[in-house]
Amino acid sequence: MLQNKRFIFFGIIYLVVLTFFLYRLADIQLINTESFSKKGVNLVQESVNQRTQEVMIDDGRGRFVDRNGDPLQKQAEPSLVLFPFLKEAEWPSEDLSRIVGIPGNKLQEVVSDTKEPIVLSSKDGVSLTAAELEKINELEIPGVFGIYQQTKLDETIGEHIIGIVGENAEALRAKYPDRTDLSYKTKIGVTGLEEAFDEFLLPDAETKLLYHVDGDGHPLFGINVKYIADSNPFYPVTVETTIDKEIQTMAEDVLEHQNIEKGGLVLLDIENNEVLAMASKPSLNRSDSKTLSNQMLQPLFPGSIFKTVISAAAIEYGLDDPTRQFNCSLNLHGEADGGQDDGQLTFDRSFAKSCNYTFTTLARELMEKDQHVIEDTASKIGLIDPVGWNGEVFHYENFKQFPDEKTGNIWSDEKDKNVPRAIDQTAIGQKDVKVTPLSIANMMATIARGGQKQQVKIVKNILYKNGTKMYSFTSNSLEGDTITPMAAAKLQKLLRLVVTDSKGTGRRFQTSPMEVSGKSGTAQTGKSNDDDQTLYNKWFAGYFPSDQPKYALVVVEMDTTSAEAGTNAAFYDIVNEMSKIDERKN
């Protein structure tokens, strides 16, 4: 009896295991063949892929161009494709040689040593024209093709702007549950514009050359190569940015030349409030997560640049009496600690010299009048709130061109508004004050336009494959109150005085080829280097030419000693290079 029970028990176990394996086999071969596992793997397609050799011509994902239509990421590269079955056939290699400029025997060698299709382009010393590609295809040699292949540019620019893509099957399915046509290997945007415009950039179909092989790599169905092409006249789309490729390249070169290893710059076209260039350091490295963030969209301590806000508030509250003198031999708390020796200065010269005591005094007086005055004024000049373009785009109610942009901050604790020393620190851009470089550039552009606030734009249009417009991004005003034109005019004079005053913190720019107006900033970060030297954020922000403003620029170097900072030198170089570019264009 006991033996029978054991037999029945093990029999049941055997049947359960067998049933599981049979179900698993049915699941793989019959039930979920086109969407297996959480990744949604198409098993039928994968089995075909094991017996397929292919050349990807275009993965079908949308691309980015600059304001002039020049590619920023990928380009159509004229290329020669040779399939490996050529080594087993007689083919007119000499005819091909006369077109591509490679000896026939060399072409024969290339295909004799490979089991995969070979793609030769300019990086391999094969530079082809459109006419030559046409001649190659007119030869009608099986296994020989002249194509335009989408390839990455040798020198990529604006990497933090464009962002990165990656494969994540679960994230893909969660984000696009209705797009069952997408392969689990489809890449999605992770950062930057790749993330912001991901739904528009998703591939509709791939373009490729392929043929089928047996287990030994020999053609299964003869030597016919299939051309699989996307026939959709609308996709993939092109995202037309506001970036100027020449200016972006120059800006990145300047940062390298001035050894700015952490920080970056933002250059705006003031008239349209469009980004001409944006560069972030350290350079993007996919294997280092610390480099993925665009520093120009992260809140940073602004230091004395924030005195522009206090000045704007003082002007609007009538505290800018030109005859009033401030004792700038005192420190920010009104103490004579021997660290300052600037004597009595007016409001205007205090701004030019960046006297701390003047602005902490004014900040205390302003807070007595209105405890919201500092944040309200910061908002009026387009500094504290998100400034990147956002609005309704198709089914998106709040589409953002800068999804990674962070909101700035002034007060972390409302109680600090009643603490004199906390007000002092806030007035000079320390304590809890953090704003993004993008918003500082926007503030300078706002002042240069006479107080008119606008959203910052980095994309102008989304274009269909045939060149027609899918969507155009309008120039939008920033919501909320603005400073008066009179206040803006006074701020313009203050920013110019920073450069023209003999002791102004921006006097270096007196020799710039275009007149500069701006403000410097030095902010303590609370960090020290290995030599126990205090590290700062060093800034210069402004606009030029002063009389007819065209460009707003902010440069920041983070976590640097004052002696090593290349901020002013980089700003100077950008102004100089923009002068040359404008001269060439005119």
Among residues 79, 93, 280, 304, the one annotated as catalytic is 304
Q: What is the bridge-based pairing of β-strands 63-65 and 238-241?
A: parallel
Give every CB contact of residue 330 below 8 A, 6+ residues apart in sequence: 336, 340, 357
Q: Which of 72, 73, 113, 119 is nearest to 100 (CA)?
A: 119
Is 304 among the residues known to form the active site? yes
Q: What is the bridge-based pairing of β-strands 165-167 and 207-212?
A: unpaired
Partners of 400 in beta bridges: 390
What is the C-alpha to C-alpha distance for residues 280 and 261, in angstroms, rounded to an integer? 9
Which DSSP string do the residues of 94-148 spell out, in sequence order?
HHHHHHH-S-HHHHHHHHHT-SS-EEE-GGGT----HHHHHHHHHT--TTEEEEE
R_g of the chain computed on alpha carbons: 31
Strands (E), 325-424: 326-327, 344-345, 390-393, 396-400
358, 328 Cβ separation under 8 angstroms: yes
Tokens representing 498 are: 């920073």
Q: Which of 568, 563, 554, 560 is nearest to 525 (CA)?
A: 560
Torsion of CA 7, 13, 16, 22, to 10 degrees: -90
410, 433 Cβ separation under 8 angstroms: yes
Q: How many C-beta atoms lie closer than 10 Å to residue 223's C-beta?
A: 14
Active-site residue set: 304
